[in-house]
Structures are given as C-alpha cells and as structure tokens.
Amino acid sequence: MTTIIVCDTCDYSLLDKLHNGKTGGEILAEHVERISTGTAITVRRQSCLMGCERHCNVAIQGDGKLTYVLGKFDPTAYSAEAVVEYAERHAESESGQVPFKQWPQGVKGHFVARIPSLK
C-alpha cells in the first residue's frame, strides 16, 4: 500500500500562511484527499515534515519501498493530481522507483529526497 503524507501546516504562499483561514498544507491535503478517493492510495496528514521553507511538502511511502519527499508545491488541484498520479505509479512499482518517463509533469523539479526502506 502506498501512502501520501501531506504536511498540513505548510504556508499558503511566500507572503501568507493562510488563505481563507486555511494553511496551504490544509488546502493541498483537501485536494489530495478528494483526488485520491476511489484509488488504492491512502492519505495521511502530518504537521510539519521539516521542509517549511519549500512549502508545500508531501512524502510518498510504501511498505518495503523507497520513500520520496517532494516540496515546493502550490496548494492547487494541479499539484494534487500530479502527486496522486505519481503515488499510483509508486504503488504499481516493485521498489517504489518510478521510471522518469512515467513521471507526471507536475512532480518534475519537486523531488527533495529519496529514502531507502528499512528492509
């Protein structure tokens, strides 16, 4: 199972933490939760992934697979669609490594870290 962890405390923009009373992370999480409905992807919220300066941040994890941390997302449906599509490719892959040609355009330039699995 692949899980998208969305930081729900990330700022909305460089100037504003909130937009209509919500953080950018909350807005992104809402988009990700809506778009992933009906897929095999699980979504969790986490307060701060320690990448605050490059908001908004997400992590994509699966049992026995590589974990990817991505950041610098605008809290938009476009970003969320790219994250969910990438997570689906991650779920289909054996190791968590998704071939570059399968990357949605919206995740390109957003990778921050790749973390090996514990086993």
The CA-CA-CA angle for residues 76, 46, 57, to 5°, reads: 40
Where do we find the tokens 């991650």? 90
- Contacting residues toward ligand FES, per CB under 6 A: 7, 9-10, 25, 48-52, 55, 57
* Least spacing, CB of residue 9 vs ligand FES, in Å: 4
Q: Which is nearer to ligand FES, 28 or 91 (CB)?
A: 28
* Least spacing, CB of residue 74 vs ligand FES, in Å: 14
Q: Which structure tokens are listed for 34? A: 């809506």
Q: Which structure tokens are listed for 75? A: 């809290």
Q: Which is nearer to ligand FES, 15 or 50 (CB)?
A: 50
SS3 state at 113: strand
How far is the C-alpha of 119 from the C-alpha of 111, rounded, in Å? 22
Q: Which is nearer to ligand FES, 60 or 91 (CB)?
A: 60
* Least spacing, CB of residue 31 vs ligand FES, in Å: 16
